[in-house]
């Protein structure tokens, strides 16, 4: 089986962009690959965060991933900072990564804009640690949302560079994208993000989910109920395609274009579908967070496996680098 790797940061509440763009695919792909999933906590410290909440946030994210369907799968889940070789390999890869490549990264530019008082070197070299996360397991497939494609391309170039300079060591990883690859936030403009206040949580309670949808942006040109709408530019319609039955989606598409349905009703249909899709996940999440033993067991098994794999790769890398070994 080919190896697959993907990661997620414990930067906030798991949202439906993460779910549709990444985690739903993780669950599907877990059967087809040797799948390794990682909570990348060292990535998350490159922006401001609540120190006293960080540990429980990491544990709850693990519970969340299991609740989204990983609990039934044969896959590996672990926490990045538990396997020290990630940061060690990142240092090595830093030494072959051009500054110019890193300064072109869109995420660095976006996050620098969002955190103007904390533009640190960690934020800058984030994609190098990400390359290390992937390459340390010699993973070939990386399921991500569209925002991460540029980073995976860079991981590929870093692998190529390392191989050219030190000898064939790493396969070149490839991104795996699906149709949920770019979910917009409730503002209908920026991508939905944990660190921007524009998301709907996967485990959000029904009342607040309905309230958030109620105020979400739709087709900006549709000002009055009697104006025909354009589903092609409406974020609510995009979400319908994931949560609502095909026949109903078609009906809404037609009705919206001739103003036979208004945004209020359209949102209500979506809210009903989302609630019925997400409620079982929330119940499972509540079970897993109230009994953390299952989560700890999974993470501990993940650590044992990944630590072994990472040590093997790092030994090979040290040898390739020509380091002195007594
Ligand atoms: P942050 O705002 O802290 O960067 P995030 O919401 O972007 O958080 P990440 O942990 O950075 O989440 O990314 C986890 C996975 O979710 C990645 O594969 C990323 O591509 C995917 N993802 C994040 N946001 C979206 C989105 N709006 N649509 C589709 N996929 C997304
Ligand atoms: Mg992100």
> Residue 181 CA: which ligand 1 atom is closest?
29
Q: Whose CA is nearest to atom 26 of ligand 1?
A: 17
153 CA distance to ligand 2 centroid (A)?
A: 16
Asked whether 50 and 33 are in contact (CB, 8 A), the reply is no
pLDDT digits (tens, 9 = 90+) for 283-298: 999 999 998 999 999 9
Q: Are residues 22 and 69 in the same domain?
A: yes
Give the distance, in angstroms, between the CA of residue 219 and the centroid of all CA atoms in the same chain.
27
What is the pTM (predicted TM-score) of this model?
A: 0.95
pLDDT digits (tens, 9 = 90+) for 55-107: 999 999 999 999 999 999 999 999 999 999 999 999 999 999 999 999 999 99
Task: Please tell me the total count of domains within the chain.
Answer: 2
Q: Are residues 302 and 270 in the same domain?
A: no
> Torsions phi, psi of 173, nearest 5?
-75, 150
194 is catalytic: yes
310 CA distance to ligand 2 centroid (A)?
A: 24
Q: Are residues 254 and 301 in the same domain?
A: no
Asked whether 79 and 62 are in contact (CB, 8 A), the reply is yes
> Residue 111 CA: which ligand 1 atom is closest?
4
Of residues 300 and 181, more confidence is placed in 300
Q: Are residues 213 and 85 in the same domain?
A: no
The residue to mutate among 193, 202, 235, 242, having the most atoms of ligand 1 within 8 angstroms of its beta carbon, is 193
Contacts of 111 (CB under 8 A, 6+ apart): 46, 47, 123
Residue 194 lies in a domain: no
193 CA distance to ligand 2 centroid (A)?
A: 6
Residues in the chain, overall count: 326
Of 236, 244, 194, 197, nearest to 218 by C-alpha is: 236
Whether the per-residue pLDDT at 240 is higher than 90: the answer is: yes
CATH code at position 45: 3.40.50.620
CATH code at position 272: 1.10.240.10
Q: Are residues 282 and 296 in the same domain?
A: no
Q: Are residues 126 and 58 in the same domain?
A: yes
Residue with tokens 């680098």: 321
Residue 193 lies in a domain: no
Whether the per-residue pLDDT at 142 is higher than 90: the answer is: yes
- 147, containing H or E segment: none
207 is catalytic: no
17 CA distance to ligand 1 centroid (A)?
A: 7
Residue 188 lies in a domain: no
pLDDT digits (tens, 9 = 90+) for 153-176: 999 999 999 999 999 999 999 999
Q: Are residues 114 and 32 in the same domain?
A: yes
pLDDT of 326? 84
Q: Is 195 in the pocket of ligand 1 (CB under 6 A)?
A: yes
Biggest CA pair distance of the chain:
80
In which band, very low, low, confident or very high, does the pLDDT at 197 lie, cut at 50, 70 and 90? confident
Q: Are residues 166 and 217 in the same domain?
A: no
- 6, containing H or E segment: strand 3-8
Q: Are residues 250 and 314 in the same domain?
A: no
Domain that holds residue 44: 3-183+292-321
Of 20, 42, 39, nearest to 90 by C-alpha is: 42
């Amino acid at each position: 089986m080919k190896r697959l790797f993907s990661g997620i940061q414990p930067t906030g509440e798991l949202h439906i962009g993460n779910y549709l763009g990444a985690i739903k695919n993780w669950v599907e792909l877990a059967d087809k690959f040797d799948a390794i999933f990682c909570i990348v906590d060292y990535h998350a410290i490159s922006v401001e965060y609540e120190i006293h909440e960080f540990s429980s946030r990491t544990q709850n994210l693990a519970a969340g991933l299991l609740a989204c369907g990983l609990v039934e799968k044969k896959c590996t889940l672990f926490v990045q900072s538990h396997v020290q070789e990630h940061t060690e390999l990142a240092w090595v890869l830093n030494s072959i990564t051009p500054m110019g490549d890193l300064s072109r990264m869109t995420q660095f530019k976006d996050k620098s804009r969002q955190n103007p008082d904390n533009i640190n070197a960690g934020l800058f070299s984030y994609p190098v640690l990400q390359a290390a996360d992937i390459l340390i397991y010699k993973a070939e497939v990386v399921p991500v949302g569209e925002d991460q494609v540029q980073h995976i391309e860079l991981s590929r170039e870093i692998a190529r560079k390392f191989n050219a300079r030190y000898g064939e060591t790493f396969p070149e990883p490839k991104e795996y994208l699906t149709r949920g690859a770019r979910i917009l936030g409730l503002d209908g403009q920026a991508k939905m993000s944990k660190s921007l206040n524009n998301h709907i949580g996967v485990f959000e309670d029904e009342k607040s989910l309905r309230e958030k949808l109620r105020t979400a942006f739709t087709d900006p040109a549709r000002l009055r109920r009697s104006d025909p709408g354009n589903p092609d530019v409406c974020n609510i319609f995009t979400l319908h395609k994931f949560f609502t039955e095909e026949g109903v989606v078609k009906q809404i598409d037609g009705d919206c274009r001739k103003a036979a349905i208004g945004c209020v009703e359209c949102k209500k249909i979506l809210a009903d579908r989302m609630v019925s899709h997400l409620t079982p996940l929330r119940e499972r999440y509540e079970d897993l967070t109230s009994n953390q033993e299952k989560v700890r067991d999974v993470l501990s098994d993940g650590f044992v496996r990944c630590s072994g794999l990472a040590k093997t790769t790092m030994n090979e890398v040290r040898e390739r680098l020509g380091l002195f070994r007594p």
